[in-house]
Amino acid sequence: MLKRTALYSAHQKIGGKLIEFGGWEMPVQYTSITDEHLAVRKAAGIFDISHMGEVTVSGAGAEAFLNSVLTNDVCKLAAGEGQYTLMCNERGGVIDDLYAYKLSDGVYFLIINASRIDPDVAWLQSQASRFSGDLDLTDASHNYAAIAVQGPRVKEFINTVIPGASSSAMRVAAVTDLKKNQIGGFKFGTSGILVSRTGYTGEDGFEIVGSDDAIQRLWDQCLTLGQPFGLKPAGLGARDTLRTEVCYPLYGHELDESTTPIEAGVGFFVSLDKGEFNGRAVLAEQKARGVKKKCVAFKMTDKSAPPRPHYPIWANGAPVGEVVSGTQSPSLNLGIGMGYVPPEWAAPGTIIEIEIRGKRAPAVVVSKPIYRKI
């Protein structure tokens, strides 16, 4: 039985086409992936992200614990700030990628992938059982629904949806005073909600976490007040094309338990100098000596079918790797993707080929992100 979010009937009402994703019944599109994608690039889009998981970690030992299980350095966070980070096993393989927020001293809020809630929580609990400090760890996923409101025009209406100043975490006079990666607690009617200036699209925008009831009302309010600014509901299809254009990894594609953050190209979020943490030895060695495979971005150079996950990548007449994400880019109107290749084929400008249904089509390795705002 697939799980349904608090917005399930809202999606049905506006004709969302529902598919299975990570055990959830989620809208893949409402009208067209291309239209929804371009609305987010040019104006605004609203996504249901209630399937994502939330974990609270608190106590005097919370900071030290998180720094022992996550790759980024949580000590760098002030109250009301968040960071992208990864959770690795002892081999440096990625258990999940996530956002860690510091709400106040000793109180942290993690947002994790829907498909990884069970393995993440099991891993965190096993790590916590070996940790001696004061620690409370709670899977709060079932308490929360969430939306992402993304696009260059969101800042023009979001303060009318959520009026007033924050009352916890980052203290600001208005939602739009939050800076990138900051999070604030706001009141929406009588409900408390968390609003962060983050997203998964490469555009300015906000992610909002709250009770089912608050998120249902927020969804309706955003659609009403955002509509004059071009806001459209957007599904997982557009979410995937948007994140692929800006080369954000998706768990199960760029990341898995046998791939390290260094190989995936997110070594920037691995803080080797913060002290010991899970996977550190392997990651330090890879940073110093290099890796055997690298996640590269590529563009098709001729008109071809779009690249898709698992298509073979060829270089110099031999298969050298595999596509992990691939689609037609609605912004660039050509096939784009990411894949793993040995480092000798990873430099931008390298000519490669993508095997599509038995035929090879030319492509070129490009620097990340594939799409850049002009």
Alpha-carbon span 168 to 66, nearest angstrom:
21
| Neighbouring C-alpha atoms within 13 Å toward the C-beta of 92 | 20
Q: Nearer to other proteins by C-beta: 32 or 56?
A: 32
Considering only residues 224-263, where is the footprint of other proteins by CB under 8 A? 237, 241
**Which residues does 232 contact at the CB level (< 8 Å), separation at least 6?**
30, 31, 35, 36, 39, 40, 43, 44, 45, 46
Convert residues 115-144 into a mask of x (bound to other proteins by CB under 8 A) and - (unbound).
------------------------------
Is 201 a binding residue for other proteins by CB under 8 A? The answer is no
**Which residue shows structure tokens 């595999």?**
322
Alpha-carbon span 310 to 205, nearest angstrom:
32
Q: In this structure, is the dihedral angle defined by the CA atoms of residues 318, 320, 323 and 329, taken in order, positive or negative?
A: negative
Q: Nearer to other proteins by C-beta: 298 or 345?
A: 298
Is 56 a binding residue for other proteins by CB under 8 A? The answer is no
CB of 4 to other proteins, least distance (A): 21
Is 29 a binding residue for other proteins by CB under 8 A? The answer is yes
* Residue (of 177, 157, 141) closest to 55 by Cα position: 141
Binding segment for other proteins (CB under 8 A), chosen from 26-34, 128-136, 178-186, 250-258, is 26-34
* Residue (of 194, 243, 244) closest to 215 by Cα position: 194
CB of 34 to other proteins, least distance (A): 5
CB of 306 to other proteins, least distance (A): 6
Q: What share of the chain is helix, strand, coil (3-state, %, to 5)?
A: 30, 35, 35
Among 3, 32, 192, 282, binds other proteins (CB under 8 A): 32
3-state DSSP assignment of residue 310:
coil
Residue 184 phi, psi (nearest 5): -135, 150
Residue 199 phi, psi (nearest 5): 175, 180
**Which residue shows structure tokens 């992402």?**
148
Convert residues 320-359 into a mask of x (bound to other proteins by CB under 8 A) and - (unbound).
-------xx-x--------------------------x--
Binding segment for other proteins (CB under 8 A), chosen from 174-182, 191-199, 247-255, 301-309, is 301-309
Among 3, 4, 23, 31, binds other proteins (CB under 8 A): 31
Q: Nearer to other proteins by C-beta: 85 or 327?
A: 327
CB of 202 to other proteins, least distance (A): 17
CB of 37 to other proteins, least distance (A): 8
Among 42, 187, 274, 308, binds other proteins (CB under 8 A): 308
Count CB atoms within 10 A of the CB of residue 112: 25
**Which residue shows structure tokens 């070129």?**
364
CB of 367 to other proteins, least distance (A): 24
CB of 93 to other proteins, least distance (A): 29
Cis (ω within 30 of 0) for the bond into 343?
no
Alpha-carbon span 211 to 220, nearest angstrom:
14
Q: Which residues bind to other proteins, rule: CB under 8 A?
A: 28-29, 31-34, 37, 237, 241, 304-306, 308, 327-328, 330, 357
